[in-house]
Homo-oligomer: A and B are copies of this chain.
Amino acid sequence: MHKQTFADAQHWPANVLAQDCPSRVILQHVTSRWGTLILIALAEDTLRFANLRRRVQGISERMLAQTLQVLESDGLVHRHAHDVVPPHVDYRLTPLGFEVAARVIDLARWIEGNLDRLKQEGQTAP
């Protein structure tokens, strides 16, 4: 996931189909391979790094760290370092993060709930 900035933020109205619209940048972060799954996992629970990694099966430490950083920069994830010894850090969605995660979850639930139809209609099934 390549980190981009709101360089061309004067785009109006926002339109993800437009190449330079900043909304496309956020969409790509939120729908990235791991971004999607991290949002879904954190919508269920505040989690420490290791637990989040167990929840999002198959993600590497590196990709988890990288993707969390991007989502944090977007204002969707909050990294909370508790002031305790030994250190305890956890990750949670921000209010904005919960709002966008709700849409991602809708999409995921639809796919999970329609796998049979997808298998029937598609040739992706064996």
A residues contacting B by CB (< 8 A) are: 3-7, 9, 13-19, 21-28, 30-33, 36-37, 40-41, 55-58, 73-76, 94, 96, 99-100, 103-104, 106-108, 110-115, 117-126
Interface centre among A36, A56, A73 (most CB of B within 10 A): A36
Q: Smallest Cβ distance from A19 to chain B, in angstroms?
A: 4
Q: Are A107 and B56 in contact (CB under 8 A)?
A: no
The complex places the Cα of A80 from the Cα of B25 at a distance, in Å, of 32
Question: Can you list 15 contacts pairing A with B, beta carbon distance less than 8 Å?
Answer: A4-B124, A6-B119, A9-B126, A14-B115, A16-B36, A17-B40, A18-B57, A19-B57, A27-B111, A31-B36, A75-B117, A75-B124, A94-B121, A96-B118, A99-B114
